Amino acid sequence: MSLLALALAGGVLGLAYAFIRRAEPERALKYIVAGAIGLPLVCVTASILVKIIVFLIAVAVIAAILYIIYVFLAERGLEGHGFRRP
């Protein structure tokens, strides 16, 4: 979703919350603005965190594969070629 659509959705959520709370107009405006700013901020932050977590998982998988290759080469008796037993 685009940030503008998220801001609109957050503003509508703030408006609904203001109706539920039967808020005064000044307080309702605060709820609407908070929703319009907060929802896109939360979504973007969550997206960044998911990307970081996926990257860390990929790094761990690559490291595990390379370690398995290292152990395999070390067990084949290649100590003289720079490989030592782990």
Does the residue 86 lie in any domain? no
Asked, for residue 56, whether it belongs to a domain, the answer is yes
58 within a domain of the structure (yes/no):
yes
Q: Can you tell me the distance from the alpha carbon of 31 to that of 57, in angstroms, rounded to the nearest whole number?
A: 38
| Number of domains the chain contains | 1
Per-residue confidence (pLDDT) for residue 61, from 0 to 100:
94
The answer to whether position 42 is within a domain reads yes
What pLDDT, in 10s, does the model give residues 6-56?
898 999 999 998 988 888 888 888 999 999 999 898 988 998 999 999 999
Give a yes or no: residue 52 inside a domain.
yes
- In single-letter form, the type of residue at position 69 comes to I
